[in-house]
Structure 1
Amino acid sequence: MERATKCIPIPTAKRFVKQCIVAGGAKEVHAQAMADTLIAADHRGHFSHGLNRLEMYVKDIQTGSTVGDGEPVTLKESAATAHVDGKNNLGPVVGNYCMKLAIKKAKECGVGWVVAKGSNHYGIAGFYALQAVEEGLVGFSFTNSTPCLRANRSSSYTLGSNPISCAAPAVADDAFVLDMATSTAAYGRVEINHRKGIPIPNGWGADPNGRETNEPSEVLNGGGLLPLGGAEESGGYKGYGLAMMVEMLCGILGGGAYGPNVRKWGTTSREANLGQCFIALNPDMFCDGFGERMQDLMDSQRNLTPSEKDKPVLVAGDPERMHIKKCEELGGIPYPTNVVDHMNGLAKELGVKPM
């Protein structure tokens, strides 16, 4: 049975998020950054990192575990690098500051590499990598996150889902946009299945004893995620290694919390102090014709004969483009009605106009 949905125009959704964040205690410019990030996630089809996360951000600001009116600062920098202290501001505020700085440096000397400490959950990693693409650059974005991933051979959860994003411009508005967790699935996708009352697929998560499970409540209540690949014998050690790599680029390099030291999910007793990494690269510093060559590579994959006639071969970024097109046809983002109802309940508590 198809789930009931309610189509919310993008300006309405952004207005709603902004007003909720302001009601929680953040200044308007920071709330706007949060609204842009969350609704971009939903627009691209990443519902686990959009409106689904709003209540968490409001709670963080209300409890004072996240700052709603400060500004990040650059601690030290060179022509191509910078170390930033996010000063515990909202993740998108820190992410935008860092990516803007990385882009500036890439335009001046070919590459910009910025690492931050003192940040918070910043939405989808691709939101920042795409900022570089808009400037004709290749963009990368990484962040560590709350411990929720089980290392192979362990029953403990000591690493985050630690996402990776790489976005590269091709011809016209086309682009390669990789945006993925280093776990098999993002934590938010488990939350969504739990909210819908449906099981999770094999390889997504494990129970509190480290055993693979299809029950989302076991993952959310003491269990955790499995690394990309799932079990060790099916390649889970690769996802585990990638999660460690992101931890090195973010928490270790940036001086923030890392691994098991990161604040537990949903708690507000102390600062998250996440580490994040942002890279912008100017392809003009290398072989000429990057965009055309990138387009040729992407099209060579898209034009392959599909193994199933009704499922064309895609490249990273295509599913999101398809969802954006669907939203344009509908005139807004199709949210499940239960999600809209839940968020309108939050709005009532905050004194905000519902969606």
Structure 2
Amino acid sequence: MAAAGEIIVSRTELDRYVVECLIASGASEDSARVMSDVLVTADYRGHYTHGVNRIDVYTSDIKCGMTCGGGLHPTVVKETVATALIDGNNLLGPVVGKYAMDIAIQKAKSAGVGIVTVRGSNHFGIAGWYSLHAAKQGLLGMAMTNSDKVMVPTRAKERSLGTNPISMSAPGKDGDNFVLDMACTTVAWGKVEMRKAKDETIPRGWAVDSAGQETTDASAVAGLQPLGGQEQNSGYKGYGLAMMVEVLTSVLSGAEMCAFVRKWKSHEKPANLGHCFLAIDPDAFADGFTDRMQDLIDHNRNLEPVEGERDVLVAGDPERQHMALCDKLGGIPYHPNQITFLDGIAKDLGVARLQHASLSS
């Protein structure tokens, strides 16, 4: 259930707020609506690090002319039956991402697989939105991006790669699915921001300061640790995964790469982020995919949990639980500090503040 003091906001009201904020910043209505779908979906699924809390980043990028808010479309640079290279023309990341994943889906339906790489894009929000976009059409979907958030490798104190998130979705039966959505760092950068907004410390193993030393002070964070943390805990594997994503995004597409990508929330140059989207038609392979996929999901869910745990989950289950909570509450729960932050943005943009559906007790 929602924690005491949390504020409940309906998804309809959140959509209104995001669209109006983006339009007030200079975005086209079509672009704003795509953006809103991605951001509100992130919060609905419990990924607050990539949701409406990010609205200041997108609006400031548009206002200062660093991101194109509309009026253009992504461009197909080259393509084959199963592949495409897209130039995002510096449009909002979700606008570019949806366009690219739609092409990957079309190619998968005709060729069995579609692989699309992107350059000239921006932060595209929650990676799981794109993989689920394919899964809803019975396909396996994958999405990944290089990032303008900072990773500091296990043997370095300077920034190297980004958080470089990756997502994969695979459909089971009756709307069930497997949805992996993860960064290649111990946590996403937004989790540090959320702790800072709530005046909370961060756990050990999340991040390092400017000297490359582990810190629990959210205000002192200069970089995130790779998945696994320090080298003795296999942090080199997270570092390797991030480099794999870099190969498939920036290197393959010609986008800006690793530490040369502009820093998060800076405006010294366009981001020129790279993405990679894959869609796979399971019917191009062995028959009965959804049955076997459901067997795999159910087998793991039915395992006996260790002492102290209630059940065994598969990727996507925590999000399903959060969506069920939101449906029960009639909206999405937020910490009061988040609402204060969002109301301040609305005031700056001349947009109506969020209307609260209810206050949890």
TM-score, with structure 2 as normaliser: 0.96
Is this contact kept in 2: 1:80–1:112, CA < 8 A?
yes
Code of the residue aligned with 2:42 in structure 1: it is A
Cα deviation 1:131-166 (Å, max 9, x = unaligned): 000100000000001151011211111210000100
Task: Find the aligned partners of 1:290 and 1:249 in 2 and give their Cα distance.
Answer: 26
Code of the residue aligned with 2:50 in structure 1: it is H
Q: State yes or no: 1:257 paired with 2:256.
A: yes
Partner residue of 2:17?
A: 16
Code of the residue aligned with 2:214 in structure 1: it is E
Partner residue of 1:288?
A: 287
Task: Find the aligned partners of 1:113 and 1:4 in 2 and give their Cα distance.
Answer: 45
SS in 2 for 1:160: coil
Partner residue of 1:225?
A: 224
Partner residue of 1:89?
A: 91
Q: CA deviation at 1:302?
A: 0.6
Which structure 2 residues correspond to residues 141-290 of structure 1 after superposition, within 5 A? 141-219=143-221, 223-290=222-289
Partner residue of 2:131?
A: 129
Task: Find the aligned partners of 2:144 and 2:309 in 1 and give their Cα distance.
Answer: 34
Q: State yes or no: 1:44 paired with 2:56.
A: no
Q: CA deviation at 1:117?
A: 0.1
Task: Find the aligned partners of 1:24 and 1:158 in 2 and give their Cα distance.
Answer: 32
Cα deviation 1:308-330 (Å, max 9, x = unaligned): 35421000000000000000000
Structure 2 unaligned blocks of 5 or more: 355-361
Code of the residue aligned with 1:349 in structure 2: it is D
TM-score, with structure 1 as normaliser: 0.98
Is this contact kept in 2: 1:56–1:266, CA < 8 A?
yes
Partner residue of 1:100?
A: 102
Q: CA deviation at 1:342?
A: 1.4
Task: Find the aligned partners of 1:341 and 1:205 in 2 and give their Cα distance.
Answer: 26
- Identical columns (%): 50
Code of the residue aligned with 1:80 in structure 2: it is A
Cα deviation 1:275-306 (Å, max 9, x = unaligned): 00000000011111111101111111110111
Task: Find the aligned partners of 1:58 and 1:147 in 2 and give their Cα distance.
Answer: 18
Change in 2 beyond 3 A, CA 1:34/1:315: same
Task: Find the aligned partners of 1:101 and 1:310 in 2 and give their Cα distance.
Answer: 42
Partner residue of 1:26?
A: 27
Q: CA deviation at 1:214?
A: 1.1
Q: CA deviation at 1:3?
A: 5.4
RMSD: 1.1
Cα deviation 1:45-92 (Å, max 9, x = unaligned): 000000110011000000000001121010000000000000000000
Q: State yes or no: 1:120 paired with 2:119.
A: no
Code of the residue aligned with 1:278 in structure 2: it is F
Code of the residue aligned with 1:268 in structure 2: it is H
Task: Find the aligned partners of 2:267 and 2:313 in 1 and give their Cα distance.
Answer: 40
SS in 2 for 1:158: coil
Q: Which moved more, 1:92-101 or 1:194-203?
A: 194-203
SS in 2 for 1:157: coil
Code of the residue aligned with 2:32 in structure 1: it is A
Task: Find the aligned partners of 1:224 and 1:310 in 2 and give their Cα distance.
Answer: 32
Partner residue of 1:349?
A: 348
Q: CA deviation at 1:348?
A: 1.3
Q: CA deviation at 1:269?
A: 2.0
Change in 2 beyond 3 A, CA 1:142/1:24: same
Is this contact kept in 2: 1:147–1:259, CA < 8 A?
no
Task: Find the aligned partners of 1:203 and 1:289 in 2 and give their Cα distance.
Answer: 42
Code of the residue aligned with 2:328 in structure 1: it is E
Task: Find the aligned partners of 1:128 and 1:147 in 2 and give their Cα distance.
Answer: 20
Instruction: Report runs of 4+ in structure 1 exceeding 6 Å deviation.
Output: none
Q: Which moved more, 1:23-32 or 1:149-158?
A: 149-158
Change in 2 beyond 3 A, CA 1:55/1:3: farther
Task: Find the aligned partners of 1:294 and 1:351 in 2 and give their Cα distance.
Answer: 49
SS in 2 for 1:128: helix
Partner residue of 1:59?
A: 60
SS in 1 for 2:61: helix
Is this contact kept in 2: 1:182–1:240, CA < 8 A?
yes
Task: Find the aligned partners of 1:211 and 1:231 in 2 and give their Cα distance.
Answer: 11
Code of the residue aligned with 1:340 in structure 2: it is I
Is this contact kept in 2: 1:205–1:212, CA < 8 A?
yes
Structure 1 unaligned blocks of 5 or more: none
